[in-house]
Amino acid sequence: MPAHRVLVVDDEPGLAHALAITLRAAGWDVATAGDGASAISSIADRGPDVVLLDLGLPDMSGLDVIVAVRAWSRVPIVVLSARQHGEDKVDALDAGADDYVTKPFAMNELLARLRAAVRRAAVPADADDVRVTAGDLTIDLARRRVLKGGDEVRLTPTEWAMLEVLVRNRGRLVGRRQLLQEVWGPGYSDETHYLRVYSALLRRKLEDDPAHPRHIRTQPGMGYVFEAEPDADT
């Protein structure tokens, strides 16, 4: 099985070098970039399986890199940053990042998050050829595509993973802990803020009125339900 390809984007040469050595020792195929322009070029040319991105780059913000890449690629992006404020995490996830790791970090946790990001982005070999229609939405589970009013909606790998779990369980409550474990892994069962951020992102892309969602419904304190045919009065 070929090694997964990771692009490390960081303007600190010492840290980038240390990360590259550790990742290669763990079996990853590693490339590095020291600025945003080089990162975007490398993503386009090399097609990595996952990107590890620092937000503080010399030529542009890491957020700008995320926005630029999301215009044409769904490659998983894991942010690695010293910024620990909640709004920084939300901004990065909102821009299209799939995960956020703060410095300092434990290397085993970082490796686990990279593996999880790649796993979420992989197309299941046994995906059912199922299409679900919900209002003007068409969700193709086999081809991992969403159409809204006939136009394709671009989702990040993590957005898709959350939507897929909800759609496969459509009409049934998916508990918060179950959703976190299926999308992010067993170590994330208490990270409920991920659900708030990603449910808001999905509603913004899929719902006609995100403030009054018809399809991605919250059961307060319990979890989420995907309603393909919601009641007219709800």
Q: Where exactly are the structural domains of the chain?
A: 5-121, 131-226
* Structural domain 5-121, CATH architecture: 3-Layer(aba) Sandwich (3.40)
How far apart are alpha carbons 79 and 62 in whole angstroms? 8
pLDDT tens-place string over residues 26-63: 999 999 999 999 999 999 998 999 999 999 999 999 99
Whole-number mean pLDDT of the chain?
A: 89
Pinpoint the alpha helices (H) of 47-106: 62-70, 86-95
- Domain 131-226 belongs to what topology? Arc Repressor Mutant, subunit A (1.10.10)
Flag whether pLDDT at 234 surpasses 70. Answer: no
Number of H helices, E strands in the chain: 8, 12
Q: How confident is the model at residue 233 (pLDDT cuts 50, 70, 90)?
A: very low
Q: How far apart are the first and last CA of the chain?
A: 49
**149 by DSSP, 3-state: which?**
coil
pLDDT of 2 reads 74
pLDDT of 53 reads 97
How far apart are alpha carbons 147 and 166 in whole angstroms? 16
pLDDT tens-place string over residues 55-102: 999 999 999 999 999 888 889 999 998 876 668 888 898 888 999 998
pLDDT of 123 reads 58
